[in-house]
Amino acid sequence: MKFFQGFRFKRALTPIHRLDSRVKLLISCAFFVAFLYVELLPLIVILLAQVPLVVIARVHREWLQTLRGGAFFATMIFVINVLTGSQVTYSLAMVIRFLILISAFSVFFLTTRPDDLEVALEKMGVPYEYCFMFTTAVRYVPVLAIEALTIIDAQRSRGLEMEKGNFIKRVKNFIPVLIPLLVNSIRRSIEMAEAMEARSWGATKYRTSLYVPRLRPMDYISLIITVAAISFAVYVHFFWTIPTTVIPIPGL
């Protein structure tokens, strides 16, 4: 649960928060340059490049939480890689690449209001219905999560023991939780649809918007810096030799 806190918008008035959503999206995607590298040193540099952003945005606690939460999957990636014969440094590099990406997007979601993202996506040409679906998902996933916990409590109070039994029994024990969740979700969608109709949904194809994404000087500067950083990373990959270390594993 705590892991997901790293992906929820945290309200603050920092320069990062104030950047246009599209620019932030680009910055997060810029971290995909990590996929150019398998060497540890540049990857660590790229990961650390997020730190100034995190500090300015004042989201260090949540960012660290995401990294800690990602540790589970990171360990799995490491173990699978080593077991399939990759070297330790390579496996470590895969882990860091994974962490770079989830932390970059964590920073994105921490500093971007979903409502702003909705209009940004719309401006980029995504049809409104899909943008709305996105915001609605962000809006209701936490509600669904709480509802799932309530349903589990209700069924446990009827004697359902979810921790007991063999594998098949445990899977069957999910039915009393999934069905109410599903039924309630359908009911919720109907209620939402009613409320949408009652607010003139579909009145016109030409929806207007309260918020307008506008690019400011800071946005342009950030764009330039980001493009420069991407270019530099590509250049380094192709034209510099990077020192690599090989960590020997006894017995391998």
Partner 1 sequence: MIEVSGLHFTYPTGVEALRGVSTKIGKGEFVAIMGENGAGKTTLAKHFNGLLKPSRGKVFVNGIDTRKASVAELSRKVGLVFQNPDHQFFCETVKEEIAFGLRNFGFPREAIKERVKWALALLGLTKYEKSSPFVLSGGEKKRLALASVLAWDPEVLIIDEPTIGQDYAQKEKLRHFIAQLIAKEKAVIIITHDIEFVADCSPRVIVMSRGRIVMDGPAWTVLTNHKQILKAALIPPQVTQVFIKLSDLGMPTGIIGVNEARDLLVERLLGASG
Partner 2 sequence: MPLIEVKNLTYTYPGSIKPSIKKVNLTIEKGEFLILTGPSGCGKTTLCRCFNGLIPNFYYGKLSGDIIVAGLSVRECPTFELAQRVGFVFQNPENQLFALSVEKDVAFGLENLGLPREEIRERVEWALDMVRITDLREMAPYELSGGQQQRVAIASVMAMRPEILVLDEPTSFLDPVAAKTIFEVVKRFNEELRMTIILVEHRLDLTAPYSNRIVVMDKGQIKLDGTPREILRSDKAGRLGVCIPKVVKLSEALKEERVKLEQVPLTADETAQIIRRILER
Which listed option, partner 2, partner 1, none, makes contact with residue 135 (CB within 5 to 8 Å by class)?
A: partner 2
Handedness of CA 55, 58, 62, 66 (dihedral sign): negative
Task: Rule CB under 8 A: choose which of 18, 68, 186, 209 binds partner 2.
Answer: 209
Report the 10 Å Cβ neighbour count for 225: 12
Q: By C-beta, is 150 or 231 nearer to partner 1?
A: 150
Which listed option, partner 2, partner 1, none, makes contact with residue 149 (CB within 5 to 8 Å by class)?
A: none
Q: Does 133 bind partner 2 (CB under 8 A)?
A: no
As a whole number of angstroms, the distance between CA 91 and CA 96 comes to: 9
For residue 39, give Cα distances in angstroms to 33, 76, 88, 91, 207: 13, 20, 11, 10, 49
Task: Rule CB under 8 A: choose which of 1, 210, 246, 249 binds partner 2.
Answer: 210
Q: Does 240 bind partner 2 (CB under 8 A)?
A: no
Which listed option, partner 1, partner 2, none, makes contact with residue 79 (CB within 5 to 8 Å by class)?
A: none
Site residues for partner 1 per CB under 8 A: 1, 147, 150-151, 153-161, 175-176, 178-180, 183-184, 187
Task: Rule CB under 8 A: choose which of 204, 241, 243, 246 binds partner 2.
Answer: 204
Which listed option, partner 1, partner 2, none, makes contact with residue 204 (CB within 5 to 8 Å by class)?
A: partner 2
Binding segment toward partner 2, per CB under 8 A, in 24-32, 40-48, 72-80, 202-210: 202-210
Q: By C-beta, is 58 or 156 nearer to partner 2?
A: 58
Structural tokens at position 82: 């080593």
For residues 246 and 38, is the Cβ–Cβ distance under 8 A?
A: no
Q: By C-beta, is 183 or 224 nearer to partner 1?
A: 183
Task: Rule CB under 8 A: choose which of 200, 214, 248, 251 binds partner 2.
Answer: 200
Q: How many residues bind partner 2 (CB under 8 A)?
A: 34
Task: Provide the binding-site residues for partner 2, judged by CB under 8 A.
Answer: 9, 11, 113-115, 132, 135-136, 138-139, 142-143, 188, 191-204, 206-212
